[in-house]
Structure 1
Amino acid sequence: MSKKNIVAQTLLLCLDLLLISMAIFLAVFIRNNILPNIMLFEPVSYIEYLVYPFPYVIIVTLFMWFGLYTRRYDLWQESLFIIKVCFISFIIIFATLALGKNIEYYSRAVLLLSLFLSVIFLPIGRYFLKKSLFRLGLWERKVKFIGNLNKNEIGIFNSPHVGYVLSKDDTYDVIFISSGDKSVSELNDLIESNKLLNREVLFIPVLNQYDFTQSVLYNNFSTRLNLFTLENKLLGKQNKILKYLLDYVLVLSTLPFWGGLILLISIKLKLEDPKGKIFFLQKRLGQEGKIFYCYKFRTMVSDQSFMQQWLIDNPEERDYYAVYHKYINDPRITKFGHFLRRTSLDELPQLFNVLKGDMSLVGNRPYMVEEQQKMKDAASIILMSKPGVTGLWQVSGRSDVSFEERLQIDSWYIKNWSIWNDIVILFKTVGVVLRKDGAS
């Protein structure tokens, strides 16, 4: 291990300890100063909780177990491991105190709050520290890539959080092998030669349409075979119920916020065009190909009779639409309509579709009815689930991807669905909206 890696890991460890202590301090503060206004609580000692070593030891030990100091996870996978660690830590600490008959001496509110706050502080703190370490050259690892780089693989080297950089010379710490154009014997030789030199070997499998982190890997010792499971979790009854509950809990709990927004936008649209409609209804493909009316705010002018001549005058727009199913500079969109689209607020009425059961909060964006034939074999996979108000396509390039790329992205989402993926997409959607990176 290089000196740079040791320094980086030490700084990460120190940051984790600092953030855990901050979480405990804030938890005690809330317990002493806010909760007594709601429930009758006696104040507890800050020092008693800050010097209690068990939370620090358990969390750091589990971080080491999950490889959070050595492995290069992206932000979202690292965040998932942090949530798991904090949940396991709470169970271990609570059980230990209960078995030792010390539970009455420690506030359960402080334990719960400190671990909840750790889930917030640790991913954010690590994100900014890793960015700083990467800029200083302490978090980067030089990579030699063997194979042909595609667009997704290039993205691996654009993340300061992961820290991999393509080597420009013959010095490198890690070897990436893309297996697509290599024979089995070539792959074995490459892996063995680099393992002998104590280099880290990362292998990109041929089956790149599956998320193997959700698979279970089995080793059959007697036959020396590795087996892994692949399943469509979205078809499971429990997962369907979980996704259904996530939709309704989030939509109903935020009803006052988005309901008020819809009211304000509706008033603005009526003031601009008293004769125009507020909502635009369009037939779209739902689950199993069922056709439903998808709600959106009207963002275009009512009179579109000029479009035929405009397309004759702008053939490049017609060609662009043939590929992306959108226009570069659509003259039908109003000034306020551009704002609604950039912020994705035009799609807010689709929350009514969620309540009706036509759509889900997260899923593949609903396809037009006439697009079903163009979807070909992908239709049987994509239409297995309800379409979503937001989806992987939105946070992976939005309107800048071709129809074929969109089909690939949507198929990947269905094949590799998990509740965590839905949560990540929801968080990323917030970023898209705040950056005004919506559909053009």
Structure 2
Amino acid sequence: MRSKKILSLILVIIECLVFYLIYTAWHLNPPMFRQDLGLYIIYLFVMGHYSIKDSLIWDEIRKVFLATILYMITFAIIMPSTFEGVPRRYLIFLSTIMFFVDLFVSYFLRVVFRSVLSKKTLVVGTSETAYRYGCIVNDNKFAITEVVGFIDLNDPHYFQEQYEMSEELFYNRDAHHVFDYKNFDVVIKENDIDQIVIGEPELSGKDLNTILERSAKLVDSVKYMPEDYNLVNFSSEVQDFDGILLISTSKDTPSVFDRFWKRFFDILISLIGCLITAIMAIFVKISYIRHGDHDPIIFKQKRIGFRGKTITIYKFRTMIPHAEEKLEEMMKVNKDIREEYHKHKKLRYDPRVTPTGKSLRRSSIDEFPQFFNVLKGEMSLVGPRPYLPGEKAEMGDDYDVIIRSKPGITGMWQANGRSDLGFKERMKLDVYYYKNWNLWLDIIVIFKTFQATFTKKGAR
């Protein structure tokens, strides 16, 4: 706690210094400096910028962005008289510079002091979700959480039910420090654990209570993941009825304002995307011809659209002609291929993919023709994966939730693993998107999609 207060103080001092240097460089009034800086610091404080909590960079960007916008509105609209004799471009310059300075300094200090600030965390559970959580927080330098290891709950002495284990944790149990539940107390004491995260969403109520009661005696902070994100979402509220705790799980309906802006950006970006697609089509065609392939480069396929309506999506062809028939033949003669496709709905190393198709997939250029679907209003830039009609039965109850959003060119699964995720994991992320959608989530997904594309993470 003391380390966080010191870090917050350092953050304030550095930001004040940069603010002062900008004022000095622009030869502005010193009295205005105190007024400007005071309000800016207050806005950052109110938005939680100086509260050093365990979070990802996206949350910090939102806080600083809102504080910066409030600062600009205050002096440009509410208090315009304070800018007498001051160039208006100064406001934009100062706000923009401070936005990036705040983010950089916050990120830099968290990285430098990570070893001091980080909460040593023990994840209870070995599910795919638990493993993904561990990878996210350990690989993210901004987050001040260090996952020390995982607790395997498959112990008949404590739990009657059996829980799935991630393949990565199963085959690399020692490398990822997977401990038995019987050693729970010892692991916490030997590793100086600060907090426990229960990362098994499918825990029964009885098993969850068993773990919570034991954890509460050992650490001060205990967090748990709700089952499939259906119990709790961003719209949830906690209410007290004279000692009875109620959690509201209602899904807010997107406002007219939100729907307008989502569609506005869909049209604007898809117009640019369609132009780029037309240019790319020339090079894609030339590449196929060079490999002796003269078949059409546009691939059309029926998919499930908004409210269950069947739509035809467009993609650059990445496979050999008649790929569907070839897949049926392959699954008949190869048991491993059949099992892999039924589990993931795609093949990790698909022999049907052409040399040109491999390049298109790695760069995600094959998705560009879907900008025409977005322009037509059948799809959105961000949304759930457009599922095949034949996958409807396997989607189960998630189908009714997923079709409430327009399918997207990109979405939660593309931004969080792409082809590394299985069919069930992709559906969970699509359900999460619908239940927690807002414009800020779309911005995060788009940014992370670019990041995943350039790093080739999960590309097949």
Match of 2:413 in 1: 393
Match of 2:387 in 1: 367
Match of 2:118 in 1: 140
CA contact (8 A) 2:64 2:102 kept: yes
Give the match's secondary structure for 1:437.
coil
Matched, 1:384 2:404: yes
Structure 1 residue 345, shift from structure 2 partner:
0.6
Name which of structure 1's ranges 143-152 and 284-293 shifts more when overlaid on structure 2.
Answer: 143-152
Match of 1:57 in 2: 38
- Residues 316-369 of structure 1 show CA distances to partners (whole Å, capped at 9, x for unaligned) of 222211111112321221111101001111011000110011110000110011
- Residues 48-98 of structure 1 show CA distances to partners (whole Å, capped at 9, x for unaligned) of 489723343333333333333332221111111111111122233345643
C-alpha distance in 1 between matches for 2:77 and 2:193: 42
CA contact (8 A) 1:8 1:139 kept: no
Letter in 2 for 1:65: V
Give the match's secondary structure for 1:102.
helix
Structure 1 residue 431, shift from structure 2 partner:
0.7
C-alpha distance in 2 between matches for 1:188 and 1:91: 49
C-alpha distance in 2 between matches for 1:11 and 1:215: 34
Match of 1:244 in 2: 263
Structure 1 residue 166, shift from structure 2 partner:
4.2
Name which of structure 1's ranges 242-251 and 374-383 shifts more when overlaid on structure 2.
Answer: 242-251
Name which of structure 1's ranges 143-152 and 339-348 shifts more when overlaid on structure 2.
Answer: 143-152
CA contact (8 A) 1:299 1:334 kept: yes
Letter in 1 for 2:120: K
C-alpha distance in 2 between matches for 1:152 and 1:293: 33
CA contact (8 A) 1:68 1:78 kept: yes
C-alpha distance in 2 between matches for 1:256 and 1:236: 31
C-alpha distance in 2 between matches for 1:413 and 1:400: 18
CA contact (8 A) 1:343 1:437 kept: no
C-alpha distance in 2 between matches for 1:227 and 1:206: 15
| TM alignment of 1:393-412, pairs within 5 A | 393-412=413-432
- Residues 237-262 of structure 1 show CA distances to partners (whole Å, capped at 9, x for unaligned) of 43322221121122235555454334
Match of 2:195 in 1: 175
C-alpha distance in 1 between matches for 2:31 and 2:288: 55
C-alpha distance in 2 between matches for 1:211 and 1:82: 30
Give the match's secondary structure for 2:223.
strand
CA contact (8 A) 1:280 1:297 kept: yes
C-alpha distance in 2 between matches for 1:123 and 1:142: 24
Match of 2:85 in 1: 105
CA contact (8 A) 1:262 1:348 kept: no
1:78 aligned residue (40, 60, 71): 60
Structure 1 residue 371, shift from structure 2 partner:
0.7
CA contact (8 A) 2:274 2:372 kept: no
CA shift in 2, pair 1:139/1:186, >3 Å: closer
Give the match's secondary structure for 1:138.
helix
- Residues 93-112 of structure 1 show CA distances to partners (whole Å, capped at 9, x for unaligned) of 345643xx333223332213
CA shift in 2, pair 1:146/1:56, >3 Å: farther
Structure 1 residue 162, shift from structure 2 partner:
1.6
Match of 1:330 in 2: 350
Structure 1 residue 276, shift from structure 2 partner:
0.9
Name which of structure 1's ranges 226-235 and 393-402 shifts more when overlaid on structure 2.
Answer: 226-235
Letter in 2 for 1:247: D
Name which of structure 1's ranges 87-96 and 331-340 shifts more when overlaid on structure 2.
Answer: 87-96
Give the match's secondary structure for 2:33.
coil
Identity %: 25
Match of 1:352 in 2: 372
| TM alignment of 1:147-296, pairs within 5 A | 150-155=130-135, 157-158=137-138, 159-166=140-147, 170=189, 172=192, 174-176=194-196, 178=198, 201-204=221-224, 206=226, 209=229, 214-215=234-235, 217=237, 223=242, 229-233=248-252, 235-253=254-272, 256-273=275-292, 275-296=294-315
C-alpha distance in 2 between matches for 1:97 and 1:259: 48
Letter in 1 for 2:145: Y
Match of 1:8 in 2: 7
Name which of structure 1's ranges 146-155 and 367-376 shifts more when overlaid on structure 2.
Answer: 146-155
CA shift in 2, pair 1:394/1:301, >3 Å: same
5+ residue gaps in structure 2? Answer: 149-186
| TM alignment of 1:290-329, pairs within 5 A | 290-302=309-321, 310-311=330-331, 314-329=334-349
C-alpha distance in 1 between matches for 2:333 and 2:278: 42
Give the match's secondary structure for 2:381.
strand
Letter in 2 for 1:16: E
CA contact (8 A) 1:234 1:240 kept: no
Letter in 1 for 2:93: L
C-alpha distance in 2 between matches for 1:370 and 1:266: 30
Give the match's secondary structure for 2:84.
helix
Match of 1:39 in 2: none
TM-score computed with the length of structure 2 as normaliser: 0.77
C-alpha distance in 2 between matches for 1:307 and 1:183: 43
C-alpha distance in 2 between matches for 1:125 and 1:428: 21
Name which of structure 1's ranges 420-429 and 56-65 shifts more when overlaid on structure 2.
Answer: 56-65
Match of 1:33 in 2: none
Higher relative contact order (CA 8 A, sep 6+): 1
Letter in 2 for 1:61: I
C-alpha distance in 2 between matches for 1:211 and 1:17: 43
CA shift in 2, pair 1:96/1:422, >3 Å: closer
Letter in 2 for 1:334: T
Matched, 1:89 2:71: yes
CA shift in 2, pair 1:91/1:344, >3 Å: same
TM-score computed with the length of structure 1 as normaliser: 0.80
- Residues 113-153 of structure 1 show CA distances to partners (whole Å, capped at 9, x for unaligned) of 3223433443344334422332xx23323345667773354
CA contact (8 A) 1:58 1:89 kept: yes
C-alpha distance in 2 between matches for 1:270 and 1:330: 21
RMSD value over aligned CA atoms?
Answer: 3.5
C-alpha distance in 2 between matches for 1:430 and 1:156: 17
CA shift in 2, pair 1:228/1:140, >3 Å: same
Give the match's secondary structure for 1:326.
coil
CA contact (8 A) 2:319 2:352 kept: yes
CA shift in 2, pair 1:234/1:161, >3 Å: same
C-alpha distance in 2 between matches for 1:207 and 1:294: 32
CA contact (8 A) 2:47 2:63 kept: yes
